[in-house]
Chains A and B, each alone.
Chain A
Amino acid sequence: MSLAPTWQAARLVLQRDLTLATRRWDEAAQPLIFYVVVTTLFPLATTPDLSQLRVISGGVVWVAALLASLLALESLFRSDVEDGTMEQWVLSGQPLGWLLLAKVLAHWILTGLPLVLMAPVVGTALGLPFSAWGTLMLSLLMGTGTLSILGGIGAALTVGVRRGSVLLSLLVLPLAMPLLIFGARAVAMAMDGESPSGPLQLLAAIFFLSLSLGPLAMSAAIRISVEN
């Protein structure tokens, strides 16, 4: 007998997590609900005047997306480590980084992608012009993807820590600052009618950097936590 191909193993992990999410959809929907609620609160707390809201709309959507994607991160690997599944993954002989990346991809499909798709709706409610939709969605697409990977590294490092959510936020938020700055800047430039390609390219660079190094960091962190 020989080892199953890696792509097949990664597909099984992805499929498993999506199946699990359909049975626990209330947990999966949590970040999206948080996102919509937070962005709705801003006009109530500041002003319903669209011309004033428009100025902060890009930043508000970005901050809300950043916090929403942090929400579900803490539990990303915890249940798999606690019930012994992770030990079996480590022993499976498959490259652990690919399995964890598949798990992060499932997490992104469930929490990041809905935020991207919902962005024009919440943006419009804040007076974001139609011309900035594309830039907002593209920047969030790369931003939430990077956040899922960065968060995966943080979750892997804190998986052995009881109530590690504070530690996780402290680890991930500083790394997420550049995303917030470039993302919000890109949206602001698009609203002003300038070309947002500069900040968007920087976002893409950060995304590919974390995509290439993230799996290595995650698998190293998980191996340490499984040793205990």
Chain B
Amino acid sequence: MLADGALFEARSVNVWRGDRHILRDVSLELRPGQFLKVVGPNGVGKTTLLRVLCGLLPAESGGVFWKGQSVSQRSDHWPVELAYLGHQNALKGDLSSVENLRFLNGLRVNIDIDSINLTLAKVGLLSRGDLPTRSLSAGQKRRLALGRLALSGAALWVLDEPATNLDSAGVALVEQLIAEQVARGGLVIAAAHQPLLDDAVYTRRLELAA
């Protein structure tokens, strides 16, 4: 049964890689306006867990549920509610920032140039919107990838090490974006090594142990 008020839920997820039992009975649930921080040492399975939660990797047992419905049964609304930021930024170096956002976000929902520019201003890349992204620095590319999430309008964000390559202002931007998403009643799950909104009232921790 769906726990009271929980929008997103994972129940006893198990994943093996070869003979390694990576995820053992991982369960979690999230209500609107909550931020779940997944912590643990390198190689413990944080990325694997996030990929299972998105549906990129099938769990060997257990299930992932959105509004009480299993995400493996493909429905039209689940993909629109989910935004995933992996290790890779999913940017094309030969395209400009504006084109990257248009070609990727446009697959899911209709977007217009005004909202793209608004997003670029938010992540501090408005003046570079027409440059090919291969000329951006690693941190700026990460900012652009974060902009893709902000533009997505998704209810659930799944972030894998969102603060990689970012300066202190960039980390503050990540915190601000997460805080805004949570304030809208959205859900955020992030794997992170560095402090990220650790003292906020809506932050919860999930510790993965080897």
Contact = CB atoms under 8 A, between A and B. Distances in A.
A121 B84 CA distance: 50
Contacts of B87: 84
Interface in B89-144: 89-92, 94-95, 99, 102-104, 106-110, 132
Contact of B107 (A84, A87, A92, A227): A92
Interface residues of A, number: 30
B91 A83 contact: yes
A91 B79 contact: yes
A16 B101 CA distance: 11
A4 B106 contact: yes
Interface stretch (B4-12, B51-59, B202-210): B51-59
Name the prevailing secondary structure of the B interface residues.
Answer: loop
Nearest to B74: A93
B35 interface: no
Contacts of B57: 227
A4 B86 CA distance: 23
A197 to B, nearest CB: 41
**On chain B, which size bracket covers the interface?**
20 to 34
A1 B153 contact: yes
A23 interface: yes
B106 A3 contact: no
B56 A94 contact: no
A85 B103 CA distance: 10
Nearest to A12: B106
B76 A84 contact: no
Interface in A81-108: 82-85, 87-94, 99
Interface of B: 54-58, 74, 76-80, 82, 84, 86-92, 94-95, 99, 102-104, 106-110, 132, 153
